[in-house]
A and B are shown apart, each in its own frame.
Chain A
């Protein structure tokens, strides 16, 4: 099990995208439930708890993914086996993409109200 946590393990080629996927489901489901249960007043535009909540989740997820990307590069540098080095750098790239993807998909909270 400990082996799986090392960033040189190939499981991390997908773990960044799993985090992205969980974040994506969370913001879409959270938005839908929040709009159904407690929709904010329409005149508040983007200054709503929903936008702030989605924004914070987006920033936190992006930060986590960026850190994982950096940690994967570090793990790749330390790796002794070529296979481990390969998967660490590959994972670093996918973490970086996932971080960019999180920020890009979450960005519309800046200019769109949540429930219209």
Chain B
């Protein structure tokens, strides 16, 4: 209905639609690689995730074929190890997280009344990192070089001695590459939800789905860096022999388990939260009443987000940790059942008090409730240490995990797919095929995994490639395999239904489910700009309270309804109240994200092939591309050279001191800080626990050099803060000179730090102490170089007129980095120089 040919619209409004369509146009052909719009990028994430789901599912069927009968020789043990490792890896890293990010990227701007995410080029960059990383990882299967140490890659099994091939390298490099995508999506989802909601949408009035995604995105930002650090350390160990996880060199393999599960347990909730968000969106629609206890759900989301970080050791109950510590983690594992229970009771109450309609999406929600509650109950069982010891590493754990993940994620995801399919395609799916698909998947799933609890209780270990008939597991495994194939048939029917509906589905009405959400006020399929005008909303149920909203939006009766400036715009609003503070001008289609991701893919491949000089060159190329990309920003002619806005509108965000870019930098530092804290944790953990850790009598580092570098950093930060204070007063006198001076101080800090590293008698391949110290120092050196380089570029941008009193935001963004560097540098010095010096050189 919303196009420039709609005869019911006035010529002016049709002109507005035409203008929007031109400014937000997506190129075709090869140019499609430049598309940055969230609708396109979100769809790409989802389709690519679905392809990886099919690959992961195929691997699952190979596993079930192998285990269907005792003494089966369908696969060798080596191939079986690769298949189950890749099944878990593909499903967790290439399917679950990315497809949910795709849903969030696609839906969030539509639900909060924005035209795009706040960093569209970052979305596109994230997608290409995901695609290239996924292809690299999956290609290892074709070469029969896939990782084979299990999806959590425990050391020493995954270390060089026990996995000498390239399999572990494929995993470590591929997953790290893919995680760039997760982090970039995490950062921009947080900032978009907090800062680009439509006018009037205060924090306590935003859709519950946005709360869930906000929590998920923050958890990604904080939870993924420990694994990234672990992967870097393990790859360094495998490639250069730095003994981080090797006991003889002063390392400890349990450190890997800590780093992995610091990520791995929150990961389960990162996957569950968006699923629960879909359920909390759908249940009120089909119960035909507002959700009972919105505030209770928000509290449950926040609690779950935090408490899920306090459970990681419950995956390590058999590793020899003191019983009192186990009790702490056992108790917090039970604690997390409370917010989960709150949500389940809220959903049931909403259904109880409403007038439920059992439409197709609700069928999947019902399936979710049954399966997830069962998975939650076995989760509480596993939180109890004595029971956990009994069933550790058995098929009971495999069954529990699938109940939680398939119940908590796949069923809500399919519910959401059926619910939002009319929005994506403009057509309705088939109820009949959908119901057949549901019952095949639901029954197939329970046939496979309910029985698997018994197989586990009878003692069948996970990861064994075959078993003897005398064990008594034959029938259970056969039933599980039959159930697995039944589930596959259901998935095939689901794909058929979705594919056919594009051609044969009946046209969807404007609001097919009589939903309350703003996304249903959009044209179907959505236009790249979402809404031609952005409405003021002060209700949680916009379409229930104002059914005429789609029409008034389409008629351009709301905010930001001009396009003659030629900019892509959305509101930059106050995080609490939703009051517009800036007009955010969004970047347009670009090749930079594609080429930057491509360069990083080359880095990844070179590291895999151990072509280190070439990897260094590719890294430099990637850095240059990323910096060149950042050049087209703010007042650059390709961004927004003209600061004019319509009368009464707030200024463009690049003309303020607190635009979303500042927020994005701050949220990025949450991720960066999480990585740094994980590194500090590794340092103190090895110092305290590793049996062969050797702390030298005196520090190998030169205090005068380190102190001088710290003084340069401190002076640089103070100077930059002074420049920003003057910019706040709209005074840019001497700005370029000041930025060059700060860049010089950054360069001085880097040189002194480099000299300190070069002078230090470190033997990083001999001891974990020296290896960890070197990694920590290189980490701060990279930050020092980046701080100096960004100030240098800022100085240049002042000369070009892109930065100054009228466009003051970028130095504020760079100052955030300098503050971060300052905190990290001095705390690191205390940790690696002062404390060892004070406490003495003992292990």
B688 part of interface (Cβ distance < 8 Å): yes
Contact B576 A10 (CB under 8 A): yes
Q: Mark A73-116, 1 if CB is under 8 A from B, else 0.
A: 00000000001001101100110010001001111110011111
Q: Of B39-47, B304-312, B695-703, which stretch is located at the interface?
A: B304-312
Contact A112 B335 (CB under 8 A): no
Residues 13-62 of A at the B interface (beta carbon under 8 Å): 13-14, 17-18, 20-21, 24, 27-29, 31-33, 35-37, 51
B324 part of interface (Cβ distance < 8 Å): yes
B202 part of interface (Cβ distance < 8 Å): yes
Contact A94 B204 (CB under 8 A): no
Contact A13 B327 (CB under 8 A): no
Task: Check A86/B303 contact, CB under 8 A, given A36-B689, A105-B335.
Answer: no
B837 part of interface (Cβ distance < 8 Å): no
B577 part of interface (Cβ distance < 8 Å): yes
Contact B332 A101 (CB under 8 A): yes
B605 part of interface (Cβ distance < 8 Å): no
Q: Mark B314-346, 1 if CB is under 8 A from A, else 0.
A: 000000001111011001101100100000000
Q: Mark B335-377, 1 if CB is under 8 A from A, else 0.
A: 1001000000000000000000000000000000000000000
A35 to B331: give the CA distance in the assembly, Å. Answer: 20
Q: Which residues of B contact A108 (CB under 8 A)?
A: 324, 327-328, 331
Contact A28 B299 (CB under 8 A): no
Of all chain B residues, the one with the shortest Cβ separation from A89 is B295
Contact A24 B299 (CB under 8 A): no
Of all chain B residues, the one with the shortest Cβ separation from A33 is B688
Contact A86 B204 (CB under 8 A): yes
Contact A105 B303 (CB under 8 A): no
Q: Which residues of A contact B328 (CB under 8 A)?
A: 24, 27-28, 31, 105-106, 108
Q: Mark B673-689, 1 if CB is under 8 A from A, else 0.
A: 00000000000100011
Of all chain A residues, the one with the shortest Cβ separation from B339 is A97
Which listed residue, B203, B298, B302, B331, touches A105 by the CB 8 Å rule?
Answer: B331
Which listed residue, B203, B338, B576, touches A97 by the CB 8 Å rule?
Answer: B338
Contact A87 B204 (CB under 8 A): yes
Contact B689 A24 (CB under 8 A): no
A89 to B334: give the CA distance in the assembly, Å. Answer: 25
Of all chain B residues, the one with the shortest Cβ separation from A3 is B576
A73 to B786: give the CA distance in the assembly, Å. Answer: 46
Contact A90 B295 (CB under 8 A): yes
Of all chain A residues, the one with the shortest Cβ separation from B689 is A36
Contact B323 A90 (CB under 8 A): no
A17 to B327: give the CA distance in the assembly, Å. Answer: 19
CB distance from A76 to the nearest CB of B (A): 12
CB distance from B689 to the nearest CB of A (A): 6
Contact A113 B324 (CB under 8 A): yes
CB distance from B229 to the nearest CB of A (A): 17
Task: Check A28/B335 contact, CB under 8 A, given A17-B302, A89-B295, A97-B299.
Answer: no
A83 to B579: give the CA distance in the assembly, Å. Answer: 13
CB distance from B823 to the nearest CB of A (A): 17
Contact B299 A20 (CB under 8 A): no
Contact B688 A36 (CB under 8 A): yes
**How many residues of B are counted as interface, with CB atoms below 8 angstroms from the partner's CB atoms?**
29
Q: Which residues of A contact B306 (CB under 8 A)?
A: 14, 17-18, 20-21
Q: Which residues of B contact A114 (CB under 8 A)?
A: 322, 324
Determine chain A's interface SS by DSSP, over half rule.
Answer: helix
Contact B322 A35 (CB under 8 A): yes
Contact A83 B576 (CB under 8 A): yes
A3 to B202: give the CA distance in the assembly, Å. Answer: 17
A31 to B324: give the CA distance in the assembly, Å. Answer: 9
Q: Which residues of A contact B323 (CB under 8 A)?
A: 112-113, 116
Interface centre among B327, B328, B338 (most CB of A within 10 A): B328
Q: Which residues of B contact A105 (CB under 8 A)?
A: 310, 328, 331-332, 335
Contact B202 A83 (CB under 8 A): yes
Q: Which residues of A contact B688 (CB under 8 A)?
A: 32-33, 36-37
Q: Which residues of A contact B684 (CB under 8 A)?
A: 29
Q: Which residues of B contact A35 (CB under 8 A)?
A: 322
Contact B322 A101 (CB under 8 A): no
Residues 43-77 of B at the A interface (beta carbon under 8 Å): none
Which listed residue, B327, B335, B577, B689, touches A101 by the CB 8 Å rule?
Answer: B335
Task: Check A109/B324 contact, CB under 8 A, given A14-B302, A36-B688, A97-B303.
Answer: yes
Q: Which residues of B contact A33 (CB under 8 A)?
A: 688
Q: Which residues of A contact B334 (CB under 8 A)?
A: 104
Contact A104 B331 (CB under 8 A): yes
Q: Which residues of B contact A17 (CB under 8 A)?
A: 302-303, 306-307
Of all chain B residues, the one with the shortest Cβ separation from A20 is B306
Contact A112 B577 (CB under 8 A): no
Of all chain A residues, the one with the shortest Cβ separation from B296 is A93
CB distance from B696 to the nearest CB of A (A): 19
Of all chain A residues, the one with the shortest Cβ separation from B204 is A86
Q: Which residues of A contact B299 (CB under 8 A)?
A: 13, 90, 93-94, 97
Contact B295 A86 (CB under 8 A): yes
Interface centre among B324, B331, B689 (most CB of A within 10 A): B324
Of all chain B residues, the one with the shortest Cβ separation from A24 is B310
Of all chain B residues, the one with the shortest Cβ separation from A9 is B576
A93 to B300: give the CA distance in the assembly, Å. Answer: 10
Of all chain A residues, the one with the shortest Cβ separation from B303 is A97
A104 to B811: give the CA distance in the assembly, Å. Answer: 47
Q: Mark B194-220, 1 if CB is under 8 A from A, else 0.
A: 000000001110000000000000000
CB distance from B418 to the nearest CB of A (A): 32
A17 to B306: give the CA distance in the assembly, Å. Answer: 6
Of all chain A residues, the one with the shortest Cβ separation from B577 is A83
Contact B303 A94 (CB under 8 A): yes
Q: Which residues of A contact B295 (CB under 8 A)?
A: 86, 89-90, 93
CB distance from A104 to the nearest CB of B (A): 5
Q: Which residues of A contact B327 (CB under 8 A)?
A: 108, 112
Q: Which residues of B contact A97 (CB under 8 A)?
A: 299, 303, 338
Contact A28 B325 (CB under 8 A): yes
Q: Can you name 18 A-B pairs with beta carbons within 8 Å?
A: A10-B203, A14-B302, A21-B306, A28-B328, A31-B325, A31-B328, A35-B322, A83-B202, A83-B576, A90-B298, A94-B299, A97-B299, A97-B338, A104-B331, A108-B324, A108-B328, A115-B322, A116-B324
The 4 closest A-B pairs by CB, nearest first: A108-B327, A17-B306, A105-B331, A112-B324
What residues of chain A have their CB less than 8 Å away from a CB belonging to chain B? 10, 13-14, 17-18, 20-21, 24, 27-29, 31-33, 35-37, 51, 83, 86-87, 89-90, 93-94, 97, 101, 104-109, 112-116
Given contacts A93-B299, A105-B331, 19 further A-B contacts (CB under 8 A): A17-B307, A18-B306, A21-B309, A24-B310, A31-B328, A36-B688, A97-B303, A101-B307, A104-B335, A105-B310, A105-B328, A105-B335, A106-B328, A108-B324, A108-B327, A108-B331, A109-B324, A112-B327, A113-B323
